Amino acid sequence: MSFGDPNNPYGQQPQAPQGQPGYGYPQQPPQGVPPQGGYAYPQQAPQGYPGGPAGYPGGYPGMPMEMPGLVKTARVLLFIVGGLQLIVGIVALIGGAALSTTDSGAAGDVVGGVVLALGLFVLALGVLAIILGVKYAKGGNGVRITSIVYASLSILGGLANFANTSANGANGAASGIVGLAIGGLILAAMVSSPGAAWFKRPRY
Protein backbone atom coordinates (compact mmCIF):
# COMPACT_ATOMS: atom_id res chain seq x y z
CA MET A 1 0.00 0.00 0.00
CA SER A 2 1.37 3.38 -0.99
CA PHE A 3 1.32 6.45 1.30
CA GLY A 4 1.98 8.87 -1.52
CA ASP A 5 5.11 10.60 -2.55
CA PRO A 6 7.50 10.64 0.43
CA ASN A 7 9.10 13.85 -0.87
CA ASN A 8 5.76 15.69 -1.00
CA PRO A 9 5.26 17.60 2.29
CA TYR A 10 1.51 17.77 1.56
CA GLY A 11 1.11 14.14 0.84
CA GLN A 12 -1.13 11.79 2.70
CA GLN A 13 -0.19 11.43 6.36
CA PRO A 14 -0.43 8.14 8.17
CA GLN A 15 -3.61 7.74 10.18
CA ALA A 16 -3.58 6.70 13.82
CA PRO A 17 -5.36 3.49 14.71
CA GLN A 18 -8.95 4.02 15.81
CA GLY A 19 -9.32 4.85 19.51
CA GLN A 20 -5.66 5.88 20.01
CA PRO A 21 -4.10 9.35 20.04
CA GLY A 22 -2.88 10.58 16.73
CA TYR A 23 0.76 10.58 15.80
CA GLY A 24 2.74 12.56 13.38
CA TYR A 25 1.75 15.87 15.07
CA PRO A 26 2.85 17.24 18.43
CA GLN A 27 0.27 16.74 21.13
CA GLN A 28 -1.23 19.86 22.68
CA PRO A 29 -1.42 19.88 26.47
CA PRO A 30 -4.88 20.37 27.95
CA GLN A 31 -5.92 23.88 28.92
CA GLY A 32 -4.70 24.93 32.33
CA VAL A 33 -1.80 22.44 32.37
CA PRO A 34 1.63 24.08 31.98
CA PRO A 35 3.95 22.70 29.31
CA GLN A 36 6.94 20.69 30.43
CA GLY A 37 9.75 22.83 31.70
CA GLY A 38 7.49 25.86 32.25
CA TYR A 39 5.64 27.42 35.13
CA ALA A 40 2.06 28.47 35.46
CA TYR A 41 0.63 31.00 37.86
CA PRO A 42 -3.04 31.26 38.81
CA GLN A 43 -4.74 34.33 37.44
CA GLN A 44 -5.86 36.77 40.10
CA ALA A 45 -8.49 39.48 39.96
CA PRO A 46 -7.14 43.04 40.12
CA GLN A 47 -6.80 44.33 43.62
CA GLY A 48 -8.80 47.39 44.63
CA TYR A 49 -11.98 48.39 46.37
CA PRO A 50 -14.62 45.74 47.03
CA GLY A 51 -16.87 45.32 44.04
CA GLY A 52 -14.56 46.81 41.43
CA PRO A 53 -10.99 47.27 40.20
CA ALA A 54 -8.46 49.61 41.72
CA GLY A 55 -9.36 53.26 41.40
CA TYR A 56 -13.10 52.72 41.08
CA PRO A 57 -14.67 52.39 44.54
CA GLY A 58 -17.86 50.38 44.59
CA GLY A 59 -17.90 49.21 40.98
CA TYR A 60 -16.39 49.15 37.54
CA PRO A 61 -16.01 52.21 35.35
CA GLY A 62 -19.41 53.29 34.08
CA MET A 63 -21.33 51.45 36.80
CA PRO A 64 -23.44 53.59 39.16
CA MET A 65 -22.16 53.63 42.73
CA GLU A 66 -24.66 52.91 45.50
CA MET A 67 -25.20 55.58 48.16
CA PRO A 68 -23.68 54.46 51.49
CA GLY A 69 -26.10 53.58 54.27
CA LEU A 70 -24.86 56.29 56.62
CA VAL A 71 -25.35 58.92 53.91
CA LYS A 72 -28.88 57.63 53.28
CA THR A 73 -29.64 58.00 57.00
CA ALA A 74 -28.28 61.56 57.00
CA ARG A 75 -30.42 62.34 53.96
CA VAL A 76 -33.61 61.11 55.66
CA LEU A 77 -32.77 63.14 58.77
CA LEU A 78 -32.29 66.25 56.65
CA PHE A 79 -35.76 65.84 55.14
CA ILE A 80 -37.38 65.28 58.55
CA VAL A 81 -35.53 68.08 60.34
CA GLY A 82 -35.98 70.42 57.38
CA GLY A 83 -39.73 69.88 57.40
CA LEU A 84 -39.91 70.53 61.15
CA GLN A 85 -37.79 73.66 60.82
CA LEU A 86 -40.09 74.99 58.11
CA ILE A 87 -43.08 74.54 60.40
CA VAL A 88 -41.32 76.12 63.39
CA GLY A 89 -40.05 79.01 61.26
CA ILE A 90 -43.51 79.78 59.88
CA VAL A 91 -45.04 79.67 63.37
CA ALA A 92 -42.28 81.97 64.66
CA LEU A 93 -42.88 84.43 61.83
CA ILE A 94 -46.60 84.54 62.59
CA GLY A 95 -45.95 84.99 66.33
CA GLY A 96 -43.33 87.70 65.76
CA ALA A 97 -45.63 89.60 63.43
CA ALA A 98 -48.44 89.39 65.96
CA LEU A 99 -46.23 90.74 68.75
CA SER A 100 -45.02 93.59 66.57
CA THR A 101 -48.52 94.73 65.62
CA THR A 102 -50.02 94.73 69.10
CA ASP A 103 -50.09 97.80 71.34
CA SER A 104 -47.50 96.41 73.73
CA GLY A 105 -45.08 99.29 73.46
CA ALA A 106 -41.38 99.29 72.64
CA ALA A 107 -40.71 96.08 74.57
CA GLY A 108 -43.24 94.20 72.46
CA ASP A 109 -41.68 95.53 69.28
CA VAL A 110 -38.23 94.36 70.37
CA VAL A 111 -39.48 90.90 71.30
CA GLY A 112 -41.47 90.67 68.09
CA GLY A 113 -38.41 91.65 66.05
CA VAL A 114 -36.26 89.02 67.75
CA VAL A 115 -38.88 86.33 67.17
CA LEU A 116 -39.17 87.34 63.52
CA ALA A 117 -35.41 87.15 63.08
CA LEU A 118 -35.26 83.72 64.69
CA GLY A 119 -38.17 82.57 62.56
CA LEU A 120 -36.41 83.67 59.37
CA PHE A 121 -33.21 81.93 60.47
CA VAL A 122 -34.97 78.65 61.28
CA LEU A 123 -36.95 78.88 58.03
CA ALA A 124 -33.73 79.34 56.05
CA LEU A 125 -32.18 76.32 57.80
CA GLY A 126 -35.23 74.23 56.88
CA VAL A 127 -35.02 75.21 53.23
CA LEU A 128 -31.27 74.49 53.23
CA ALA A 129 -31.79 71.06 54.80
CA ILE A 130 -34.34 70.02 52.19
CA ILE A 131 -32.19 71.30 49.31
CA LEU A 132 -29.20 69.38 50.66
CA GLY A 133 -31.26 66.20 50.96
CA VAL A 134 -32.36 66.54 47.33
CA LYS A 135 -28.79 67.22 46.19
CA TYR A 136 -27.39 64.09 47.86
CA ALA A 137 -28.29 61.98 44.83
CA LYS A 138 -26.15 63.87 42.31
CA GLY A 139 -24.34 66.56 44.31
CA GLY A 140 -20.59 66.87 44.52
CA ASN A 141 -18.12 67.84 47.20
CA GLY A 142 -19.74 71.26 47.65
CA VAL A 143 -22.89 69.57 48.96
CA ARG A 144 -20.74 67.61 51.40
CA ILE A 145 -19.02 70.76 52.71
CA THR A 146 -22.36 72.58 53.09
CA SER A 147 -23.71 69.59 55.00
CA ILE A 148 -20.73 69.77 57.35
CA VAL A 149 -21.56 73.46 58.01
CA TYR A 150 -25.23 72.59 58.60
CA ALA A 151 -24.28 69.78 60.99
CA SER A 152 -21.95 72.13 62.87
CA LEU A 153 -24.77 74.66 63.29
CA SER A 154 -27.02 71.90 64.58
CA ILE A 155 -24.39 70.84 67.11
CA LEU A 156 -23.94 74.45 68.25
CA GLY A 157 -27.70 74.79 68.64
CA GLY A 158 -27.76 71.65 70.77
CA LEU A 159 -24.99 72.99 72.98
CA ALA A 160 -26.84 76.29 73.33
CA ASN A 161 -29.95 74.43 74.47
CA PHE A 162 -27.87 72.62 77.05
CA ALA A 163 -26.50 75.95 78.27
CA ASN A 164 -30.05 77.25 78.74
CA THR A 165 -31.26 74.14 80.55
CA SER A 166 -31.72 76.13 83.76
CA ALA A 167 -34.10 78.47 81.95
CA ASN A 168 -35.85 75.97 79.68
CA GLY A 169 -35.87 72.99 82.02
CA ALA A 170 -36.29 69.47 80.65
CA ASN A 171 -37.39 70.75 77.24
CA GLY A 172 -34.06 72.50 76.75
CA ALA A 173 -32.12 69.36 77.67
CA ALA A 174 -34.22 67.22 75.31
CA SER A 175 -33.77 69.70 72.46
CA GLY A 176 -30.04 69.78 73.12
CA ILE A 177 -29.76 66.00 72.97
CA VAL A 178 -31.74 65.84 69.72
CA GLY A 179 -29.70 68.62 68.11
CA LEU A 180 -26.41 67.02 69.11
CA ALA A 181 -27.48 63.58 67.89
CA ILE A 182 -28.73 64.79 64.51
CA GLY A 183 -25.78 67.11 63.91
CA GLY A 184 -23.31 64.47 65.03
CA LEU A 185 -24.77 61.80 62.74
CA ILE A 186 -24.81 64.08 59.69
CA LEU A 187 -21.26 65.19 60.44
CA ALA A 188 -20.11 61.59 60.84
CA ALA A 189 -21.69 60.65 57.50
CA MET A 190 -19.89 63.50 55.73
CA VAL A 191 -16.42 62.93 57.18
CA SER A 192 -16.47 59.12 56.86
CA SER A 193 -14.54 57.47 54.03
CA PRO A 194 -17.66 56.07 52.27
CA GLY A 195 -19.36 59.46 52.50
CA ALA A 196 -16.36 61.32 51.07
CA ALA A 197 -16.06 58.72 48.27
CA TRP A 198 -19.75 59.14 47.44
CA PHE A 199 -19.55 62.89 46.93
CA LYS A 200 -16.19 62.67 45.11
CA ARG A 201 -17.21 59.79 42.85
CA PRO A 202 -16.73 60.11 39.09
CA ARG A 203 -19.87 61.03 37.18
CA TYR A 204 -20.68 59.80 33.69
pLDDT tens per residue across span 40-57: 545 554 444 444 444 444
Determine, yes or no, domain membership for 24.
no
Determine, yes or no, domain membership for 106.
yes
pLDDT at 66: 86
> Mean pLDDT throughout 11-32?
53
User: Does residue 119 contact residue 111 with C-beta atoms inside 8 Å?
Assistant: no
pLDDT at 45: 46
pLDDT at 86: 94
Using the Cα atoms of residue 154, residue 156, residue 157 and residue 163 in order, give the sign of their dihedral: positive
User: Does residue 162 contact residue 147 with C-beta atoms inside 8 Å?
Assistant: no
Determine, yes or no, domain membership for 61.
no
More confident residue, 96 or 48: 96
Count of domains observed in the chain: 1
Determine, yes or no, domain membership for 5.
no
pLDDT at 161: 78
> Mean pLDDT throughout 173-196?
89
d(CA 193, CA 204): 21
pLDDT at 58: 47
pLDDT of 36 > 50? The answer is yes
Determine, yes or no, domain membership for 41.
no
d(CA 190, CA 73): 11
Determine, yes or no, domain membership for 178.
yes
> Mean pLDDT throughout 66-74?
92
> Mean pLDDT throughout 99-107?
68
pLDDT at 12: 54
pLDDT of 26 > 80? The answer is no
pLDDT at 46: 45
pLDDT of 178 > 60? The answer is yes
Determine, yes or no, domain membership for 144.
yes
pTM: 0.63
pLDDT at 175: 78
The rounded percent of the chain whose pLDDT value lies above 90 is 35
Look at phi and psi of residue 4 and say left if phi exceeds 0, alpha if psi is from -120 to 50, else beta.
Answer: left
What domain range is 116 assigned to?
Answer: 69-199
pLDDT at 114: 85
pLDDT at 168: 59
> Mean pLDDT throughout 126-145?
92
Determine, yes or no, domain membership for 52.
no
Q: What is the CA radius of gyration of the chain?
A: 36
Angle, helices 105-135 vs 141-163, to 10°: value is 140
The chain-wide mean pLDDT, for the chain, equals: 75
